[in-house]
Amino acid sequence: MILILTPNLNTDCEEYRHLMGALSNLQNIQARVHREQGMEKSVTEIYLIGNTASLQIEDMKALPCVEHVVRVSEEYRVLGRHKADNRATFFDYNGVRFGQDTLNVFAGLCAVDTPEHVELMMRALKENNQVCTRMGAYKPRTSPYSFQGHGKKCLPFVFDLAGKYGIKVIAMEVTHESHVVEIHEALDATGNPTGVMLQIGTRNTQNFELLKIVGRQQEFPVLLKRGFGITLDESLNAAEYLASEGNRNVVFGLRGMKTSIGEPHRNFVDFAHVSVVKKLTRMPVCVDPSHSVGARSTGPDRILDIMHVTAQGIIAGANMVLVDFHPVPSQALVDGAQALIPKELPYFLEDVQIAREAYEKRVALSERHNSKVMGDR
């Protein structure tokens, strides 16, 4: 059960002490407090864990400071959508909103190589009014002999350049606790010119110890990629690990499933699950067309498959697009075959806009249809 307290609550007040006293008297029930400072207001929620079936919603609502009570089902307690659940479906980070109603594009390098390439990319982003990007510093690779990413060495120039070109959020994969510390330290050392969204890659979706560590910090939001060979439910539970440890600023990423059925694409595109994840949880949903398709193949209409599946994700309501670009794909150290080039960025973004407008029209159409059906009843 979740008690949502009155917004902007000062927890130093007498009523709050009464509330906590009353909760501590409940038998076999633990209360976990979660506070979230948003741009407009602060939210305090209390998670009651244990034998909550015996509690009455009305009794809990009558306690001081309690504005709303949600009885959660077993599934995805923190991130899930439950009956009468009016909790937010967005979060703000470094001036950027991530929600189930917004759309952010993260175009950038799969793996950071040279400062020149990073700068060319960042400049193209700025020229196209983009404030988010992807920049891989720690790369989990199939072969131990493949390039593993420059690691912490590249962070200072990546962050400096991000600041120079007005980038506010960089999606960056981490595979180990030390990477989170290194990112934090490098941001500090460069004067915090940008922000980072920590990415948990598909190979680590069920690395529970990593999830717990990343979940315990609340400085950085997290992009959790769906595991490529596990069920959706298992991947959503992985996201719940982050939230249960305290970090609920989580975006859920679809990136295709590993199966030969998806050939000739690198992975079987799973963007039909965009609306499923949005219904089951309050997380914004990201699609990664690059790792799904894996190549610059085109249809007979000469549209890249990567752009076709991007549009498929967006027209179904996706909230974030993570897409590989590289100024000189032939020189990319990772995944050059699937990279778009900066010259294609305005074209890509215009295509994204077409799909987004189509989605918005579809939502409006469905609202008109549903209110007519209701009126006819």
Chain positions contacting ligand PEP, by CB under 6 A: 110, 136, 173, 201-202, 225, 255, 288, 291
Min. distance of Cβ 43 from ligand PEP in angstroms?
A: 31
User: Which of 123, 203 has the CB closer to ligand PEP?
Assistant: 203
Asked if 335 is part of the footprint of Mn ion (rule: CB under 5 A), the reply reads: yes
Min. distance of Cβ 306 from ligand PEP in angstroms?
A: 13
For residue 180, the partner it binds in ligand PEP, Mn ion, none, with Cβ less than 5 to 8 A by kind, is: none
Pick left, alpha or beta for residue 302 (phi over 0 → left; psi -120 to 50 → alpha; otherwise beta): left
Question: Which residue number is nearest to ligand PEP in terms of Cβ?
Answer: 201
Min. distance of Cβ 110 from Mn ion in angstroms?
A: 4
333 phi and psi angles, rounded to 5 deg: -85, -15
User: Which of 86, 330 has the CB closer to Mn ion?
Assistant: 330
For residue 244, the partner it binds in ligand PEP, Mn ion, none, with Cβ less than 5 to 8 A by kind, is: none
| H or E element at residue 177 | helix 177-189
Round the CA-based radius of gyration of the chain to a whole number and report it.
Answer: 22
Cβ count near 320 (within 10 Å): 25
* Residue of 259, 249, 198, 243 lying closest to 225 (CA atoms): 198
Concatenating the DSSP letter of every residue in 51-110 gives SGGG--HHHHHTSTTEEEEE---STTTTTB--TT----SEEEETTEEEETT--EEEEEBS
Min. distance of Cβ 170 from ligand PEP in angstroms?
A: 12
User: Which of 80, 284 has the CB closer to ligand PEP?
Assistant: 284
User: Which of 280, 334 has the CB closer to Mn ion?
Assistant: 334
Q: For residues 324 and 336, what is the distance between their CA atoms, to the nearest angstrom? A: 8
| H or E element at residue 161 | helix 155-164
User: Which of 173, 182 has the CB closer to ligand PEP?
Assistant: 173
For residue 225, the partner it binds in ligand PEP, Mn ion, none, with Cβ less than 5 to 8 A by kind, is: ligand PEP
Question: Which of the residues 72 through 111 are near Mn ion (CB under 5 A)?
Answer: 110
Q: For residues 133 and 290, what is the distance between their CA atoms, to the nearest angstrom? A: 14
Residues engaged in binding Mn ion (CB under 5 A): 110, 335
